[in-house]
Amino acid sequence: QVQLVESGGGLVQAGGSLRLSCAASGRTFSRRAMGWFRQAPGKEREFVAVINWIGDSTRYADSVKGRFTISRDNAKNTVYLQMNSLKPEDTAVYYCAARQGAIVTIFPYDYDYWGQGTQVTVSS
């Protein structure tokens, strides 16, 4: 099994930045596409960003493109989400997810492992 633990969430003012981390343990971390999803109160879980195991292929939701950057450090078994120019509508619980395969995908049902989530709150 693969265990994922998110960290780095918190309260930030609009226009500020946060860096989320996702630490992986258990089964080998390599050759897995890793994604970030988020879920706001009263809304369904939505795709945010994904990166392949090599780190040379990424995809972003239109709502975060140009503001968020996903990256990974396989030596540290960690995936990051750098969030800049944060907006109140970015407020949500952010989840890290991993696939068994290496191909990037934006669909939640393609992911096999999930973290517990970390709260991000952006004030006006």
Per-residue pLDDT at 31: 75
Per-residue pLDDT at 103: 84
CA 90 to each of CA 13, 43, 45, 121: distance values in angstroms, whole numbers, following the listed order: 11, 12, 13, 7
pLDDT along the chain (124 residues), means of 10: 93 98 80 92 95 90 98 90 98 95 90 96 96
DSSP percent split of the chain into helix, strand, coil, nearest 5: 5, 50, 45
Per-residue pLDDT at 102: 80
